[in-house]
Structure 1
């Protein structure tokens, strides 16, 4: 009887050891995949941030490399909304860079390729929102695709509205509305009328938020709108107004 109990104990111990080995192997594999995916994400994120500051530095080769990296990350973690969002940004950049390359050699714009890239971007943003519906960045991504398609329709404003609801204080929302609004103001577009109140609000909020402040200031300078923005924000706080070039003088 004792021998039988010992054999059962040994068998159970062996099973337990194998379970521990399998668990350790699984944890190691998961950690390795997390490390690879995380590195891919931050590498691509840094590239995109660099392109946003200097768009001319983006190349098709770099964008394709980024798509390959983030594609691997998605293969490892297909339920990560952030990976799909950044994949959408890469497809947008691919559309922008390829169009720029075609125009530089007077080859004309390949609308099919451009539309394919933008459709892929929209699909990635939609996948992101299926996983996380309240992600403002993906709503802004969909609005950005519509803007690049020159389709400023009700759907575009629906995306902007959802982005504001999802992240009213998010830097990405301030940046998009400020850049779009100032561009519409500069070209005297009818769309300025639709966005002007939101533009004033997000100029104010964008200058308050340290994550969007520099972008907003550059957008104001780009559109030579310092005087106009100063008038729009005459009721804003002193710390906001003093950041606008030539808005507050001490004469």
Structure 2
């Protein structure tokens, strides 16, 4: 009886060990594919992306998801790749890519709901999908989620500032104050001010943004706005 028990116990331990090894192997393979996709995304910050490169990144991140379908970061990376595909596309194809990016970010949010960068990206995508001034209940929802989970996160400050000014007429007074608050944080923060300032200058909104931000946070020294506020 004792011998049979020991044999059975050892078999269970061996099976458990094999299972652990299998899942560790799957996660290891997934992380390698995800790393390859992430390297592509980082490279596109410095050199223009191409559709063949985007397609290769799609394949890599999908393999990562296949090996580890519960990892929220893999869906986040996949959504970013779809955003690049939208950038390289036009018309209906671009909108389809954005719609897929949105759905993929939502997959990531289900697995990691408190990650602010996801809501910041969803806010930007929703604004792009409703670029003709159409109202969207989800726009307000994503604004609140981004503010709730990352009020001082650079990605959130930038996204709310960009979308906030672009969709200014759609906001109520409380939301407008929130947008101005994020303008101040974005133009003040060392990890966001240059990116945000460059964007605002490209849309001829820099002077307005500086004036609004200084009125909202008069005690905050927003040095990047000095040339405007003199």
Specify the TM-score bucket, using the shorter chain as the normaliser: 0.7 to 0.9
Structure 1 residues 26-37: aligned runs within 5 Å: 26=22, 29-30=25-26, 32-37=28-33
Instruction: State the SS of the aligned residue for 1:79.
Output: coil
Q: What is the Cα deviation at residue 21 of structure 1? A: 7.6
2:127 corresponds to which residue?
A: 147
Q: What is the Cα deviation at residue 16 of structure 1? A: 9.5
Conserved 8 A contact 2:187-2:193:
yes
Task: String of CA shifts for 1:173-204, please: whole Å, max 9, x gaps.
Answer: 111122223445xxxx6347765423321111
Distance in 1, Cα, partners of 2:143 & 2:218? 26
Larger radius of gyration: 1
Seen in structure 2, the aligned counterparts of structure 1 residues 221 and 76 have a Cα distance that, compared at 3 Å, is: same
Seen in structure 2, the aligned counterparts of structure 1 residues 168 and 65 have a Cα distance that, compared at 3 Å, is: same
Count of equivalent residues:
225
1:46 corresponds to which residue?
A: 42
Distance in 1, Cα, partners of 2:17 & 2:73? 32
Conserved 8 A contact 2:76-2:105:
yes
Conserved 8 A contact 2:188-2:223:
no
Conserved 8 A contact 1:41-1:73:
no
TM-score, normalised by the number of residues in structure 1: 0.71
Q: What is the Cα deviation at residue 145 of structure 1? A: 2.5
Give the RMSD, CA atoms, in angstroms: 3.4
Unaligned residue ranges in structure 1 (runs of 5+): 100-108
TM-score, normalised by the number of residues in structure 2: 0.77
Distance in 2, Cα, partners of 1:139 & 1:227? 27
